[in-house]
Structure 1
Amino acid sequence: MSHLSKLERKVHVLTTKLTSLTGELAKLEKDTREMVAANNGLKLTCKEMQRENHMLDELNDELKKEIKELKHLTGENLLEERGEQKTGDFSPSLNKSEKD
């Protein structure tokens, strides 16, 4: 085989490899673009979830404050500090016919 034939054969092999690698590169670039888009979407979702979590934490803190205030207003916190339970003022008494 002549030197020129060998070079032509190498050019043909390299051209075939180039075509194959170009197709593979195009597929990888497309996959990369899709992954970047998906990643950006996930980042936005994550930020929104963090904002929502922060809002829920703030709401939870406000509700805890409100519960504490309500307990203070009802005197329940004093009973809890003493280890007592609050009982209602109303304790129904059963008459004789209801007992039987």
Structure 2
Amino acid sequence: MEFIDTPGRFGSLVRSRRQALGITQRDLALAVNVGERFIVDLESGKPTCQLGKALAVAKSVGIRLTDQAPVPSADTLPDLGPGDAYPDLPDLGDEA
């Protein structure tokens, strides 16, 4: 099982499944009712692709997304401050 944690890995998986099915990017776009450019962008790992369309494409090539992570409980979560909820995002300071 492959761990999909970046848009690039997701796009690569979509591309490999599409190729395994023997269909072109254009055929896939027509089947899912999206533009061919969307398929090109998705397969290249463009991080701003629309999630709904990306999920439709994934489903059409047989990719099933599941969450197998354990559900955290309140006592297992770290005590986070307001700036710690999304540590990868820049701190924009107090907007008020």
TM-score by length of 2: 0.19
Greater relative CO, 1 or 2 (CA 8 Å, sep 6+): 2
From the two aligned structures, give the one with the greater helix fraction. Answer: 1
Return the index of the structure with the highest Cα Rg.
Answer: 1
